[in-house]
Amino acid sequence: MKVANKVFVVTGGGNGIGRQIVLLLVHKGAQVAAVDISEQGLLETKGLAGDLSSKISTHVVNITDLKTVEALVDQVTAFHGSVDGLINNAGIIQPFVLFNDLTYPQIERIMNVNFNGMLYMTKTFLPVLLKRPEAHIVNLSSMGGFLPVPGQTLYGASKAAVKLLSEGLRSELLSTNVHVTVVFPGAIGTNIAVNSGVMTKEQAATQEPGKIKFSTPEFAAQVIVDGIEKDKYHVLVGNDAKLMDFLSRLAPERAAKIIYGQMKSLLP
């Protein structure tokens, strides 16, 4: 599906990959309903669009609140007239601790944002998308959704759930006009640790870059939008995601040990 002249809803549109997806879509001729829990972030995204800002509506929404999500449909259609695409980008990581040390409130928050929020948005907007001549759903999983990452085990489980729901939904919709793509970003240079409440801005500023090479949010957005236009089943963002996807299929235990070796210094 070509994105020009289409209307997209993008969650997490106030920062990181979501912000760059919003900006890229409007530059390619689409309209966007940008959704985020941060009003300031949304206003910054809209400001960055410059002369194209009129193509963006902003919606401060907690995607874990089903009633608020259900009310969003009328708000978006009132502004844009229709909806042709949904990009579930919003997500958080967990604190870098062992599974045994996670609290239940932490567990519930991660699952609510990463899985239930995506579920609410998808189920709420799907009936609208089914009425369009062509439509597309994009759900962001993670490299951690197919590969175990110590210290992010619960996060990985939430993203694995996103993967399987997306693949199952695509199969169910094969005879319809709605297509589904699942995205697996590798290491992306965003503020997700700060936005997730895992560390403060001051702590993030003191972190050493390390040996991990990060892809940019701009690059991620380009790969994701290309995936929509080419109707891809899976989209892997970054050479790290591509390599570990291959290795996890070829030698899953070896792949797990490689990631453990990279992550063990962050573990307690």
31-40, 175-184, 211-220: least confidently modelled range: 211-220
Judge whether residue 115 has pLDDT over 50: yes
C-alpha separations of 54 from 32, 80, 189, 204, 243 in Å: 10, 11, 28, 34, 40
Percent of the chain with pLDDT over 70: 91
Amino acid at 5: N
Amino acid at 28: K
> Contact 122/86 with Cβ under 8 angstroms?
yes
76-90, 182-196, 205-219: least confidently modelled range: 205-219
pLDDT digits (tens, 9 = 90+) for 235-245: 999 999 999 99
Amino acid at 108: E
Q: For residues 159 and 266, which has the higher predicted lDDT (pLDDT)?
A: 159
Judge whether residue 231 has pLDDT over 50: yes
257 has which bridge partners?
none
For the question of whether the overall pTM of this predicted structure is more than 0.85, the answer is: yes
C-alpha separations of 168 from 86, 128, 220 in Å: 17, 19, 24
**What average pLDDT does the segment 76-93 reach?**
97
Judge whether residue 9 has pLDDT over 80: yes
The token duo for 55 is 């193509």
Catalytic residue among 104, 120, 155, 260: 155
20-29, 192-201, 214-223: least confidently modelled range: 192-201
Judge whether residue 205 has pLDDT over 80: no
Q: What is the pLDDT of residue 201?
A: 47
Q: How many CB atoms lie within 10 A of CB 3?
A: 23
Judge whether residue 51 has pLDDT over 70: yes
Backbone φ, ψ for residue 226 (5° rounding): -60, -40
For residues 37, 39, 40, 46, the Cα torsion angle rounded to the nearest 10 degrees is: 110
**What average pLDDT does the segment 105-122 reach?**
98
pLDDT digits (tens, 9 = 90+) for 151-189: 999 999 999 999 999 999 999 999 999 999 999 999 998
> 268 pLDDT band (50/70/90 cuts)?
confident
Query: Would residue 155 show up in a list of annotated catalytic residues for this protein?
Result: yes
**What average pLDDT does the segment 29-46 reach?**
98
The token duo for 149 is 């990452």
C-alpha separations of 51 from 26, 34, 46, 60, 110 in Å: 10, 16, 10, 22, 36
Q: What is the pLDDT of residue 107?
A: 98
Residues with Cβ within 8 Å of 26's Cβ and at least 6 positions away in sequence, in order, are 32, 49, 52, 55, 56
CA-only gyration radius of the chain, Å: 18
Closest CA to 183 of 121, 118, 247, 124: 118
Distance (Å, whole) CA 144 – CA 18: 19
The DSSP letter of residue 94 is P
Q: For residues 203 and 116, which has the higher predicted lDDT (pLDDT)?
A: 116
Distance (Å, whole) CA 197 – CA 199: 6
Closest CA to 56 of 8, 123, 125: 8
Q: How many CB atoms lie within 10 A of CB 72?
A: 22
Closest CA to 158 of 167, 145, 149, 171: 145
H/E stretch holding 169: helix 153-172
Q: What is the pLDDT of residue 56?
A: 98
Judge whether residue 211 has pLDDT over 50: yes
Q: What is the pLDDT of residue 195?
A: 63
Distance (Å, whole) CA 143 – CA 232: 17
Q: What is the pLDDT of residue 264?
A: 85
Average pLDDT score over the chain: 93
